Amino acid sequence: MLLTVLAGFITSIFIIPFGKILKSKWSVLLMALPVVLFLYYTRLIPHISSGGNLLESTPWIPSLGVNLDFRLDGLSLLFALLITGIGIAIYFYARTYLKGHPYFDRFFGYLSLFMSAMLGMVLADNMLLLFIFWELTSISSFFLIGFNNTEPGSRKSAITALSVTGLGGFFLLAGLILLGNIAGTYSISELIHSRDVIIGHPLYPLVLGLLFMGAFTKSAQFPFHFWLPGAMKAPTPVSAYLHSATMVKAGIYLLARFSPVLGNTPEWSYPLMIVGGFTMLFAAYHSLLRTDLKSILAYSTISALGILTFLLGIGTREAVIAASVFILVHALYKAALFLITGIIDHETHTRDITQLSGLRKVLLPVALAGLLAALSSAGVPLSFGFIGKDLIYEATLHTPSSWIFILTTLALITNICLVAAGFMAGIKPFAGPLPEPFKKIHLPYTSMWLPPLILALGGILLGIMPDYAGSLFSLQAANAIFGADTQLHLKIWHGFNTVLVLSLVTLAAGTFIYMINKPGKERLNFVKKLNHLSPEYIMGKSVDAFFRFSEWYTGKFHNGYLRSYHLQIILFAEALLAYKLWLSGPIEIDFFSLAMLSVYEVAIVAILIGALIMMLTTRTRLTAVVSMSVIGYCICLMFVFYSAPDLAMTQFTIDTLTTVLFVLVLYKLPPFLNLGTKKERYRDIAVSLIFGIILCMVALQAHHEPIVTATSNFYGDAAYTEAKGKNVVNVILVDFRGIDTLFETVVLSIGAIGVYNLLRLRLKPSEKE
C-alpha cells in the first residue's frame, strides 16, 4: 500500500526531468498510473468485501508516534476505488482536453501529486499521517485550481480555496492532537477501544468542534461553501475530479472515519444535521438560480455534500447505509456531468444554459452520457441514483417520530431541486432545436466522450444490479462507518411503500420545476443584491482589513530608518529591564565596602564627563573625535589606578590608533548638520537618559551581589603551577583560552583584510551611482 501511495509522488517527481518527453505521444505512459492503482485495489475487493482488512506499518518518526501506518478497510477501499477509478477517466480525458497546453506536464504532475495525497489520506491509519495527506490535498488542489495562472480570477479562487481549507486544516490538526492526547494513541484503528474515555472527557465537545471545522471547510459546508463555486475556475477535469468525486469528499471521509469513535451522541448529531441540512437545502435552491453549467454543478455538489453530512449526523443504521451508497452514486453521476460540461465548453466555448440547446444532434454519445447521468442523479427507477434516493428517504423515515416529518421534508425539497438541477445540466443543453452557430460542431476524440459515458453507464449498471454493488462496495464501507454489521442489502424493488411514493413525488416535482424554471439574468442580479450578507463577502472584507492592518503595522515598525529600529529595540530593552528591576525590589548599597575616593580619581572622572558633554554638544566632527579619544584616555588612566596594567596598555594603543584612523578619514567630512527636529531631540534625550539611569541601577544591583571568586581563584592558582606564567591575565588569554584568542586574531585579520581592500578599492565612474 505504501508503494501505491508513493507512486503518484514518484511520478510527479519524474515529470520534472522528463516533462518534455511526456508532452508528446509518450504521455500515454502517464495513463498507466491510475490504471495500475485501480487494478491493484480491484484485486483487493474480494478480501475486503468478505470482511477482512489489510494493515501495513513502516516506522517513520517513532519518537513522535508518527508511523507510516496504512490500513485498508471497506470505507478506505470504497474511496480508493473512487479515487483511482474516476482517476482513470480524468487522466484519459485530461490528456485530450489539455493537448498542446504549454503546461501539460505540470498539470499531470499536480494531478498525480493530488491523487497520491488523496489515496494516502483515505488509507492512513495514523491521525498525524492523515493530517499530512489532508494538507497535501489542499496544497496540490491550490495548484490545480490556479492552473490557469495568467487569469487573476483563477489565482484569486486558488487563494480563497487554499485559505479556507488551510484554515480548516489548522483546526483539524488541533482537534487530532487533542484527540490523540485524550485517547493516548494516534492510531485510528485503536481509537475505537477508548470510545468511552473520549466521549466522557470534558474536552470532547471541543474535539468535535475542531474536527467539524476541518470537515466543513474541506467539504464546503455552509458557511464555508463559497470556495467551491470559485474553484470552478480550474480546468474542467480538475473540477470533475477534485470538486465532485474526491477532495470535497475528504471532509465526509473524515466524519465517516471518526463516526464509530465519536458519533451517535447529541453533540455529534445536532451540529451535523443542522449544518448539513441547511447546506443541502440552501445549495440545492441556489443551483436552480444559476445559468452557468459549472455553477449549477458546483451548487448541486455542495448540496450533495450537505446530504452526506446530514446522513452521517443522523447516524442510524439506515442513514449510514444511505451515506455509503450515496457517496458512490454521487461520484459517478457528478463526475460524468462535469466531464460532459467540459466537452460542451470545449466545443461551443460557452457554458451558459440559456444559450445551449439541441447539441444531441452533433454530440450524440455525449448527449447519451448526459441523459444517463441526469437520470441517475434524478433517481429514476433502474438507475443507481434511484437506490441512493430511496435509502435517503429510508433514513429520514427511520428517525424518532418527532423528527420524521421535518427531516423527510428537508430531504424531499432538496432532492426535488437536485432533480431539476441534474436535468438542467445533463439534458437541457442537448434538448430542443440546434442553434445555427453550433451546427459546425463535431464530436471530439473518443478519449473525451468515452470516460463520461462509461461513468454514466456505470451509474445505470449498478442500479440494475444493486445487490452486486452493495455487497462489493457499500456493505463493508457502511460497516466501517457504523462500527457494527449493518446487514446492508440493496434491492431494486421494495414494494409499494412510503419511500416509493416519496421517490415518485420527487421525480414528478423535480421534472415540473425543470420545465418551469427559467434561470436568467434577473435572478442572478437578485442573488447579487444579497451578496453583502454572504460569508464570502464577509471573509473578503476581513481579509482586506487584515491586509490593511499588516500594511499599517509594517509601515509603522519597519519604516527602513535605522534610528527608528534602534529606538524600538532600546525602548523594549528599557521596559524589560525596568520590569525586572521593579520585580527585584529596592537596591541596597553597602557604603562600607566601597573603595576610598582620591583626588586624582575625581579629577579623571570630571575630565571624562566634561569630554562626554563636549562630544555630545559639539558641531564639528574633529572635536567629537578628539573628545572620544579623551574619554578613552581617561578610561585608560582608570585602568592604571585599579590594578589593570594590561588593559591600560591595550586601551591606550587602540585609542590612539582609532583616533589616528578617524582623523585620517574624516578630515574632509563636512560639519554635523542639525538634521532632527527639536521634538525628536528631546524624545531621544529622554530615552537615552532613562536608559542610562536604568543601567546605573542594574550596575548597582549587580555590584551588591556577592562576587563568586571560584573562577578567578582557579586561574590565580593554576596560572603559574600549570601554565608557568606570572601574569594571570595574559595566561588566561594565551593559554587557558588560547583557542578563543586564536579566533579573535582571525576576526582581527578579517577586519584588516576588509579595511585594506576598502581603502584600495577604486570604482569605475560608471559604478559610482
Partner 1 sequence: MELLLILVIGMLYAGGIYFILRRSMVKLLLGIMLLGSATNILIFVLGAIVKGKPPIIGSMQDVLDKASADPVPQALILTAIVISFALTAFAIVLLKRVYALLETDDLDDLNTPEEEDI
Residue 59 within binding range of partner 1, rule CB under 8 A: no
Q: Is residue 630 near partner 1 by the rule CB under 8 A?
A: no
Buried b (16+ CB within 10 A) or exposed e, 280-291: bbbbbebbbbbb
Taking CB under 8 A as the binding criterion, the range among 86-94, 214-222, 307-315, 757-765 that sits at the site for partner 1 is 757-765
Burial 589-626 (b: 16+ CB within 10 A, else e): eeeeeeeeeeeeeeebeeebeebeebbeebeebebbbb
Q: Which of 46, 520, 676, 738 binds partner 1 (CB under 8 A)?
A: 676
- Of 721, 764, 765, 766, the one binding partner 1 (CB under 8 A) is 721
SS3 assignment, position 226: coil
Residues 679-708 that bind partner 1 (CB under 8 A): 684-685, 687-689, 691-693, 695-696, 699-700, 702-703, 707
Q: Give whole-number Cα distances, 674 to 308, 680, 685, in Å.
A: 73, 12, 15
Q: Which stretch, 123-131, 185-193, 294-302, 656-664, contacts partner 1 (CB under 8 A)? A: 656-664
CB of 643 to partner 1, least distance (A): 4
DSSP-H helix ranges across 517-561:
521-529, 535-557
- Which residue from 329, 227, 313, 216 is spatially nearest to 274, judged by alpha carbons? 313
Q: In angstroms, what is the minimal distance from the CB of 634 to partner 1?
A: 9
Sole binder of partner 1 in the list 646, 682, 738, 742 (CB under 8 A): 646
Q: Which listed range, 112-120, 191-199, 486-494, 554-562, lies at the site for partner 1 (CB under 8 A)?
A: 554-562
Radius of gyration of the chain (CA): 38
Should residue 533 be labelled a site residue for partner 1 when binding is judged by CB under 8 A? no
Residue with cell 489532508: 134
Q: Which of 585, 709, 764, 766 binds partner 1 (CB under 8 A)?
A: 709
Cell of 229: 463555486
* Cα–Cα distance for residue pair 426/287, rounded to 1 Å: 13
Instruction: Kindly tell me which of 75 and 625 has the beta carbon lying closer to partner 1.
Output: 625
> Is 609 near partner 1 (CB under 8 A)?
yes
Task: Identify residues 582-601 at the interface with partner 1 (CB under 8 A).
Answer: 589, 594-597, 601
| Residue among 440, 521, 761, 765 that touches partner 1 (CB under 8 A) | 761
**Phi, psi for 754 (deg, rounded to 5):** -60, -50
Cα torsion 527, 532, 534, 536 to 10°: value is: 110
The verdict on 607 binding partner 1 (CB under 8 A) reads: no
Residues 230-269 that bind partner 1 (CB under 8 A): none
- Choice from 51, 59, 716, 738 touching partner 1 (CB under 8 A): 716
Nearer to partner 1, 516 or 594 (CB): 594
Cell of 194: 477508548
Give the x-and-dash track for 370-409 against partner 1 (CB under 8 A): ----------------------------------------
Does residue 712 touch partner 1 according to CB under 8 A?
A: yes
Kindly report the number of other CB atoms within 10 A of residue 481's CB atom: 28
- The count of residues interacting with partner 1 (CB under 8 A) is 98
Q: Give the nearer residue to partner 1 in terms of CB position, either 400 or 670.
A: 670
Which are the contacts of 209, defined by CB distance < 8 A and separation ≥ 6? 175
Nearest alpha-carbon partner for 444 in 332, 339, 589, 333: 339
Give the total residue count for the chain.
769
Q: Is the Cβ of residue 32 or residue 696 nearer to partner 1 in the bound state?
A: 696
- Residue 570 in contact with partner 1, rule: CB under 8 A: yes
* Distance in Å, CB of 557 to partner 1, minimum: 15
Residue type, 566: H
Q: Is 751 in the site for partner 1 (CB under 8 A)?
A: yes
**Which amino acid is residue 593, in one-letter code?**
S
Give min distance, CB of 734 to partner 1, in A: 10
For position 665 contacting partner 1 by CB under 8 A, the verdict is yes
Is the bond leading into 223 cis (omega within 30 degrees of zero)? yes
717 binds partner 1 (CB under 8 A): yes
Residues 731-750 that bind partner 1 (CB under 8 A): 732-733, 737, 740-741, 744, 747-748, 750
Please list, in sequence order, all residues whose beta carbon lies within 8 angstroms of the beta carbon of residue 119, skipping any fewer than 6 positions away. 4, 5, 8, 37, 80, 83, 84
Residue range at the interface with partner 1 (CB under 8 A); choices 60-68, 117-125, 334-342, 636-644:
636-644
Q: How far is CA 670 from the centre of its chain?
A: 56
Q: How far is the CB of 193 from partner 1 (least distance, A)?
A: 59
Q: Judge contact between 680 and 566, C-beta under 8 A.
A: no
The DSSP output letter for 277 is H
